Amino acid sequence: MVNNKENNFYAILLFLIWPFVAFLLSFKEYKKSWAKNLVWLFVVFYGFTFVILDEGMDSNVNREIFLNYASADYSLGDFLSTLYSESGKVDVLQDLISFTVSKITDNYHVLFGVFGLIFGFFYSRNIWYLLDRSLPELKKINIILIVCFTIIVAFWQINGFRFWTATHIFIFGILPYLYEKKNKFIWVSLLSVFVHFSFIIPVSILFIYLLLRNRMHIYFYFFLITFFLIEIDISIIRDNLSYMPDLFFDRTVGYLNEEYKSNMVTQRSSYNWLALNYGKPFKWFIFALAVIIYAKGRAIISANIGLLRLFSFALLYFGFANILSNVPSGGRFMSVANLLMVALTVLYIQAEYNLKLIRFVIYISYPAIILFLLFSIRIGFETISLFTVFGNPVLALFGENDYSLINLIK
């Protein structure tokens, strides 16, 4: 009922009073220009109120590195010499952020707020990429898929800032490049390597796609074969990586040795059954979507160059992700595959009218979807503080952000 300028003012006011409610409201009012920026601001606020639950978290390592920068009298030259003393160091963004913030403050909450600032920008823009292309009206069946897209790599993943920020940066570039052929965005995807070195793998898959182009049928059968691949000897992968530049090989081979594999097996043995398997039914749901779209919609896909490019790359990438999931820590690449396939499905549904079979698959998959969403959110409870949900930026300045939602629930 009010003009857009007033609307922006009330939206920001609500954020300052109760950020979590503003975050939820932004999805209801997704057509408004301020909506995605409220999500961005909320992720910054979440970063500032981030809870480090135990010493084994990646975020605790990030905090210790930051505090070391803050306590030591590091010059820029000292920092750069330390940075490149590590063999194969190419993912420099997090170190640069930590060093820069340490020159301003020794409050690690500010550091995680900056992490939220960067992560939140790409996170909010990726969500709204799909929402903006669902105008004038988002189809109801797509609501659950948008929720899935929001949760697959959710804002609480700044616990592992490097890999998951690289994920959203890669997606931020690849979606407009493939779907709308906006060539300049391909450079954004390439920059993901400087956030986490392992993104040389998605970037390499992108180069394979650029070489082979839209071979949808070949990629689909590659996707099928690799999906049912039970196990692969990681020594085969390790031996075939010798062609890589030393800059990347020295870092990558560490994930492929037997000691690292043994440590991962030991760590996973401490998890309960649900923690190990909650994502498997969701993987089958994504598989079913890909098969149905290919079986029933490939004529429509072929007639839409944007969908054809995106579906072709998603299938090719998914095939490689299936192989990588047999490697310790390689399962993380499956999240990128899931984001690609869910994004493709959302755009396909918005363009297609005969959706009975897809609706049926989504409806019968609700238990798998809900299990995945609930357990993913449960993981988020470990780093979301009471201030994140019930507080605001003013209260957070004077309170202790060390009590997470999981503590409250327990």
Beta bridge partners of 404: 385
What pTM value is reported for the model? Answer: 0.90
Q: Give dist(CA 328, CA 183) in Å, integer.
A: 34
Could you tell me what percent of the chain has a pLDDT over 70? 85
Residue 217: count of CB within 10 angstroms of its CB: 12
**What single DSSP character describes residue 57?**
S
**pLDDT of 380:** 94
Q: Give dist(CA 126, CA 146) in Å, integer.
A: 11
How is the chain split into domains, by residue range? 17-261+272-409
Contacting residues for 235 by C-beta, under 8 A, at least 6 apart = 256
**What's the chain's length in residues?**
410
Q: How far is CA 255 from CA 248, 249, 260, 330, in A?
A: 12, 10, 6, 9
Under the banding of pLDDT at 50, 70 and 90, the label for residue 276 is: confident
- 18 phi, psi to nearest 5 deg: -150, 90
**pLDDT of 248:** 54
Q: Residue 102 in contact with residue 318, Cβ under 8 Å? A: no
User: Each residue of 319-359: pLDDT tens digit?
Assistant: 999 998 877 777 899 999 999 999 999 999 998 767 889 99
Q: Give dist(CA 213, CA 147) in Å, integer.
A: 31
- Taking residues 26-34, report their average pLDDT: 92
Is the N-terminal amide bond of 328 cis, ω within 30° of 0? no
- Taking residues 137-145, report their average pLDDT: 93
**What single DSSP character describes residue 410?**
-
**pLDDT of 1:** 45
**pLDDT of 49:** 94
Task: Supply 168's token pair.
Answer: 């959203």
**pLDDT of 153:** 97
**pLDDT of 79:** 77
Task: Supply 155's token pair.
Answer: 């804002």
User: Each residue of 386-397: pLDDT tens digit?
Assistant: 989 999 998 887
**pLDDT of 398:** 77
Lowest mean pLDDT across 41-55, 76-90, 261-275: 261-275
Residue reference for tokens 């049912």: 228
Q: How far is CA 375 from CA 152, 279, 369, 371, in A?
A: 11, 9, 10, 6
104-113, 118-127, 133-142, 347-356 — most confident range: 118-127
**pLDDT of 94:** 93
In the predicted structure, residue 97 carries a pLDDT above the cut 70: yes
Lowest mean pLDDT across 98-102, 148-152, 223-227, 329-333: 329-333
**pLDDT of 214:** 95
Q: Residue 328 in contact with residue 253, Cβ under 8 Å? A: no
Q: Give dist(CA 213, CA 215) in Å, integer.
A: 6
Mean pLDDT of all residues belonging to the chain = 86
Lowest mean pLDDT across 183-187, 269-273, 312-316, 402-406: 269-273
Residue 366: count of CB within 10 angstroms of its CB: 11
In the predicted structure, residue 274 carries a pLDDT above the cut 80: no
The SS3 of residue 34 is: coil
Q: Specify the higher pLDDT residue, 72 or 377.
A: 377
Under the banding of pLDDT at 50, 70 and 90, the label for residue 117 is: very high
- Taking residues 154-179, report their average pLDDT: 96
In the predicted structure, residue 385 carries a pLDDT above the cut 60: yes
- Taking residues 280-287, report their average pLDDT: 94
Could you tell me what percent of the chain has a pLDDT over 90? 64
Contacting residues for 99 by C-beta, under 8 A, at least 6 apart = 69, 74, 79
- 404 phi, psi to nearest 5 deg: -90, 165
In the predicted structure, residue 259 carries a pLDDT above the cut 70: no
**pLDDT of 230:** 58
Q: Specify the higher pLDDT residue, 158 or 354.
A: 158
**pLDDT of 23:** 96
Under the banding of pLDDT at 50, 70 and 90, the label for residue 264 is: very low
User: Each residue of 167-208: pLDDT tens digit?
Assistant: 999 999 999 999 999 999 999 999 999 999 999 999 999 999
- Rounded CA Rg of the chain: 22
One DSSP character per residue, 207-255 reads HHHHHH---HHHHHHHHHHHHT-----HHHHHHTTTTS-HHHHHHHGGG
